[in-house]
Amino acid sequence: MALLTPPDPERVGPPQADRRWLAVPVLVIAFVIVAVAKPWGDRRSAEAPAASATVAVAGSQAPTSPPSIAPTLDAIVTGRTPAAADPVYTHQIESVPWANELVADSGGAWTWSDTGIVSRIGTDEIVTKTDLGRPRQPPGPLGSRGIAVAWSQVWASDPVHNGLARIDVGTGSVAARIPLWTTAQEAAVDAAGGSSHDRWASASGFAIDGDSIFVPSIAARPGDVADPAAADGQLWRVDATGVRRTGWTSIDRPTGVAVGFGSVWVVSCCGDQADLRTFTIVRLEEETGAVQVKLTITRPDPAAAADARPVIRVGPDSVWVALADLPLVVRIDPATNSIRSTLLLDLPVTDLAIGPGGSLWATESEPWYRAGAVVGDRCDGRLTHIDPETELVVAATTMACPMSVAIAGNDVWVGTAGTEGTGTSGGVPPMLVHLQALGPGSK
């Protein structure tokens, strides 16, 4: 654990009796020109998509015209963009906390790992660990990876015990477990689908609302689905008290879920591995699971796909969905069940978080994986603070390979993937970075 000391602020304005300061603006202008002309990373990080997204609305709402996806955000961080947050500490961690595997509350952050370890890093920088048990293999298609915190509860994916585990916030011990499938059901799903056990073949994240936990699964439990052809997945509603039986709704390959505005919002991704072009956001009535509306986003160019799952977050007046492969953030108006706007960023969006006052925070990163392999020893990225009123970047902090973000008050937590060492470079291990928010919206 290494303390990071921010550099002293630069002096603003020239000395009174020294004209050498006139060279500074010239150098700054030259630097900006070079930064804009030279892409950061591969070509796709600096070029607009070859084709715009086609947005179609289906269900109870009438189709709407596709909104523009013109790049309304600052694409490149320059000297005129202030820092989004100041680093406080960095913690080396065992594995990368991807989106939905990092959450925060007022006391600190929680990270989940498919090794069976949940780590608690407090704002006092004290680290405690909970061992849920090491699974025989990483989680497969049944259930969802990750961790969630809400309503003073922390629930984590518990693949060893085929379900969820509630962690006591005070002691870090396992307070309760809820089994969701049997070992026989898991084996039947594996045998039928031939699914691999990796991050890309799993749902990611779940949501808590009172005593209800909503868990996506990209495969249905055997015996649950009356019409197997209807969907290739389920959203389970789990009673945290254990009183009611687990209910389910058939949904095609759900990969993330959020709760808000009296509804459950589910984002599904990609169809099979050969089709990474279509994303669907489904709004469900929270009590009955009835489908209220579906919004479909189609990307015409499958070659532009990046290795990242979509993420969905609920803000004070909007539902936000991040798509890494465009890279795009979609803003949904729950009052009209329509896409309000689309924000094009510079790099693939790996995660989103809602900060104080409804501010939007995003982690952007160059594609880190290609077919499961590390592409190199460098991974440019940034933590971006977006004003939801103007939908503009108001601040950004450059980081290496940020893959997840969580916010509680003024504390910002970012999980980084690290990089592979090649040649003379030693590489960087995965890190959890604790930062303090700066600028508009911070308190």
Task: Dump the DSSP string for 191-249.
Answer: HHH----SGGGSEE--EEETTEEEEEESSPPTTT-SSGGG-S-EEEEEETTS-SPPEEE
Does the pLDDT value for residue 15 go beyond 70? no
pLDDT at 94: 80
pLDDT at 242: 79
Dist CA 260 CA 389 (whole Å): 20
Does the pLDDT value for residue 366 go beyond 90? no
For 10-30, the three-class secondary structure string (H helix, E strand, C coil) is: CCCCCCCCCHHHHHHHHHHHH
Full-model pTM: 0.79
Q: Which residues, listed in sequence order, are joined to residue 59 by a DSSP beta bridge?
A: 293
Does the pLDDT value for residue 123 go beyond 70? yes
Mean pLDDT of 245-254: 90
For residue 106, what are the CA distances in angstroms to 152, 234, 434?
A: 10, 32, 13
Does the pLDDT value for residue 269 go beyond 80? no
- Sequence-ordered list of residues with C-beta below 8 angstroms from that of 83, at least 6 positions apart, any chain: 395, 396, 397, 438, 439
pLDDT at 428: 75
Mean pLDDT of 68-96: 66
Instruction: Using DSSP, state whether 433 is helix, strand or coil.
Output: strand
pLDDT at 429: 82
Does the pLDDT value for residue 74 go beyond 90? no
Question: Rounded to 10 degrees, what is the CA torsion of 340, 346, 347, 353?
Answer: -40
Rounded to the nearest angstrom, the gap between the alpha carbon of residue 190 and the centroid of all alpha carbons in its chain is: 27
| Phi and psi at residue 48, to the nearest 5° | -70, 155
pLDDT above 70: percentage of residues in the chain: 70
Does the pLDDT value for residue 189 go beyond 60? yes
Does the pLDDT value for residue 195 go beyond 70? yes
pLDDT at 231: 64
For residue 312, what are the CA distances in angstroms to 79, 420, 433?
A: 31, 29, 22
Does the pLDDT value for residue 304 go beyond 90? no
Mean pLDDT of 25-35: 33
The answer to whether 347 and 45 are in contact (CB under 8 A) is yes
Mean pLDDT of 350-373: 80
CA atoms within 13 A on the CB side of 348: 27
**For the ranges 38-47, 64-73, 224-233, which has the lowest average pLDDT?**
38-47
Dist CA 135 CA 244 (whole Å): 27
Q: If pLDDT is split at 50, 70 and 90, which confidence band does 48 have?
A: very low
Dist CA 301 CA 50 (whole Å): 8
Dist CA 417 CA 111 (whole Å): 13
Other CB atoms closer than 10 Å to residue 232's CB: what's the count?
Answer: 20
Q: If pLDDT is split at 50, 70 and 90, which confidence band does 19 have?
A: very low
Just give the CATH number of 53-437.
2.130.10.10
Does the pLDDT value for residue 40 go beyond 50? no
**For the ranges 140-154, 225-239, 258-272, 352-366, which has the lowest average pLDDT?**
225-239
Rounded to the nearest angstrom, the gap between the alpha carbon of residue 406 and the centroid of all alpha carbons in its chain is: 9
**For the ranges 300-304, 379-383, 438-442, which has the lowest average pLDDT?**
300-304
The answer to whether 255 and 201 are in contact (CB under 8 A) is no
- Sequence-ordered list of residues with C-beta below 8 angstroms from that of 54, at least 6 positions apart, any chain: 66, 297, 298, 300
Write the pLDDT tens digit of every residue in 132-184. 999 888 888 899 999 999 988 999 999 999 999 999 998 999 999 999 999 99
Q: Which two tokens stand for residue 374?
A: 């590390």
pLDDT at 309: 78
Average per-residue pLDDT in the chain? 77
Dist CA 398 CA 83 (whole Å): 8
Write the pLDDT tens digit of every residue in 371-403. 344 445 567 899 999 999 999 999 999 998 899
Mean pLDDT of 106-122: 94
How much is the CA Rg of the chain, to the nearest whole Å? 22
pLDDT at 196: 76
Q: If pLDDT is split at 50, 70 and 90, which confidence band does 234 have?
A: very high
pLDDT at 11: 29
